[in-house]
Structure 1
């Protein structure tokens, strides 16, 4: 069975040809210019194939071959839209073709990126097939719809070690994602060492378990990701979500607050970039982040700046953008940043509107939502949330009117820090399922996530930067929690980002069911949802 995710657009089976044994052994052979791709493919396959993966100098007479070649024969020209995460003026040509014969698998494209995408398809064909199984003789071809296909993880709230970040990068690459967005700062923590401001992480230096990335580790993660054609985008979340920064720099004054807010609800005062000392501190931070980042983008946050006047928010966001550009990078921000003005060079990450928040309108409705009642939510707080988020209902209009691009991350489907629905939860995972996921979100099935269609928001394709799933870490305790919330839901997000449409559930569920074999071999915990016929 073809269990590839994303599902290739074109498949032609050769029913008259002999099948290919999955057992191998396997040898990788590449065009001279594709040696780095071959090395990366070997690294991805090694944990699965072990001794069945032969060294490069093994005789071609032994085993089957995975051939990597720059060959445009029968490779389709795809129509890729969006923003290239590498900063290129046009998206990379990632279109590929793949042929399975009795002798082996040939991966071909016009570019190294395309050859690598073909190779991840070959890897999935192999790794979702039992060692004693057969691969059908076939021709596959495909090309991506969206140039930016991302995943955000949240080391700020639950630190993800460098080794575990590499494991996430490998999974992202296997599913043809090409951006890893690191939410590095928030109220709960600051996870990036900066030479100009050692106090941000200095208090952790003596700890046995260090919970930040050193300069060298950050560089190494970027190199590792680039080898897998994944771009790392760091996020320094400002002017709100700044408690960790305030702990390190307690002398910075609070931003001016709206009248009547103080004392009603607890909040960490946002930063005021019109203040000279605050501006200098933030400029030093962003100068370091931009200098250490190899990719072209730096995310400046801009979301949920609770407790700041509109005027100060506008001035602060504009200056954050200006600083990132001054230091040679292109800013990305959450959708709220559009309220500070927005232009054609900007990218705004769309994540919420009030209807998407799915909040109750009456006390009776609240009483019928046990996941909300358990958090102590009251109708007063519900009203305050609706008022605070009301401007979000018009953010997309602002972004489109300003000529900017939208990065699609709707909370309704692509926030993977959502609890799994009880009706699809196996008994063995019921305790973890009740603990994992942001409690204000309605629990949903795996099918719900897979039902998301990028076209459902009515945004013209040419205005979409790309697609990005997010996984915030409020309820995580370690890497198993992270992958349990990611898997299996990441597969359908990757398919929608690559193909531009939702998979057909009854067919998709049989493909994702084969991938548990791949995750187990990589030591990745996953959620065994009961709406999937696992193999």
Structure 2
């Protein structure tokens, strides 16, 4: 009946009035009653690429135009019976009411919900209906009722390694909003770069401030990005990655104390030494940093990293994580951290992002198995190095259990399916994108097709509902650069993550690939490069 993603079940409704609405005609947006006009203006911005010259300005009353109606309605949609679980990204005690009802009539499309946020979710479905309409532009009469399964539905991008301009981030925010994602997690710091201006620490961004492009976000730009996202009901979560991944911080602020290393490991591997936050001067510096970041952040969450602290003892790492959590809470925000943080103890306030375990890493055990993995051989990995990695990551196999036992919340971001820096399998590449399939993505991951990402089941981890924070896709940027590379790796896989996060289950592939095939045109109209996998029948 429709190609909406995430899946929105539609029921046909009787034809009322003469004619049938067509996406190809002129359209206007009408905000009814108490719906703020700003919401209508935001929808005009999202619709504009798909209705060039046919989206009428505010105040138009052209009787020939189809109307996209935005209205509040006290009657709950039937889909509101779906239980929403997880952490509210706006910091509310309970998940937002995002249930909506959408109806296609002879006059256009009606978007109704009990909340303005619900009306917006309905309107993004309307944008997709218009952008993915058939060749003749017909919009079949139908009624959709819908509501989300998970409250936190996120996307992480990595401007620390591949800088994204503010305008490029706005385009990603628009894309996230169209697929009903409501969190943009920004990995702002790493060994390669520090991308947020902190006025008290000008040296952190001085190297990134040279011509021709200033590669960091000023205070004003970061505030503006958050305001832009909020108008699309997307919460921005900044990440300051500590106590590891601190190369740029060490370069800008010399003399920070090194964490004590496990016996026999100091200096053996080329990793930047993690910080020791039990050192008073180092803690004071980090406290000043986090105070500024928290003050700049409109949303309720700040991510503190806590992953891959290679070269720190377990005791030192745990002590540093506890200090990071304490500082963020002291400055009025809620800390989020990667799953390794569970080893510092868990209480019900903690949100822990699950990304890996040893089986998920899909690494060989023998020289023969390594030889059969050309991507690992090409990356220069040896069996000795792989064994060391497995030993280092062995505690990850118990991290989720630690979170559940401590009453914390798990944010699901498994590397196996939701790390979108995984290379595409070349056998699914159209000829013109074979090179992209071979070169894009993290070179140690086994290449996969789009169907693999779409097969992910959130329920596979058997985590109790009250211990789930939500779902978040990630796109780390060690092995590519440029905005087109970002969107090629995101699309089409981000759509299936959005569907699993909203619906709570993997789509049925045969049906889903047909819907997905109608979204290529929508991405083209938005100027977003994508991987045109041969697994999908793309519509013209």
Q: Which stretch shifts more, 320-329 or 198-207?
A: 198-207
Deviations 1:97-137 (A, max 9, x none): 00001111000000000000000000000011257420000
Match of residue 437 from structure 1: 441
Q: 1:67 aligns with which of 66, 69, 72?
A: 69
Match of residue 11 from structure 2: 12
Deviations 1:412-434 (A, max 9, x none): 00000000012211111011111
Q: Which stretch shifts more, 183-192 or 197-206?
A: 197-206
Deviation for aligned residue 1:33: 2.6
Contact 2:160–2:192 (Cα < 8 Å) also in 1: yes
Q: Which stretch shifts more, 143-152 or 194-203?
A: 194-203
Contact 1:23–1:131 (Cα < 8 Å) also in 2: no
Matches within 5 A, 1:384-463: 384-463=388-467
Q: Number of paired residues? A: 534
Matched, 1:3 2:3: yes
Matches within 5 A, 1:244-393: 244-393=248-397
Match of residue 52 from structure 1: 54
Moved segments of 4+, more than 6 Å: none
Match of residue 117 from structure 2: 113
Deviation for aligned residue 1:89: 0.4
Match of residue 511 from structure 1: 515
Q: 1:534 aligns with which of 531, 534, 538?
A: 538
Deviation for aligned residue 1:311: 1.1
Cα distance between partner residues in 2 of 1:215 and 1:173? 24
Aligned with 1:382: secondary structure?
Answer: helix
Deviation for aligned residue 1:458: 1.2
Match of residue 22 from structure 2: 21
Match of residue 43 from structure 1: 45
Gaps of 5+ in 1: none
Cα distance between partner residues in 1 of 2:472 and 2:514? 24
Contact 1:342–1:403 (Cα < 8 Å) also in 2: yes
Cα distance between partner residues in 2 of 1:200 and 1:2? 49
Cα distance between partner residues in 1 of 2:354 and 2:208? 34
Aligned with 1:448: secondary structure?
Answer: helix
Cα distance between partner residues in 2 of 1:518 and 1:360? 40
TM-score (norm 2): 0.97
Q: 1:479 aligns with which of 461, 475, 483?
A: 483
Contact 2:76–2:114 (Cα < 8 Å) also in 1: no
Contact 1:72–1:108 (Cα < 8 Å) also in 2: no
Gaps of 5+ in 2: none
Matches within 5 A, 1:76-225: 76=78, 77=80, 78-129=82-133, 132-225=136-229
Deviation for aligned residue 1:477: 1.2
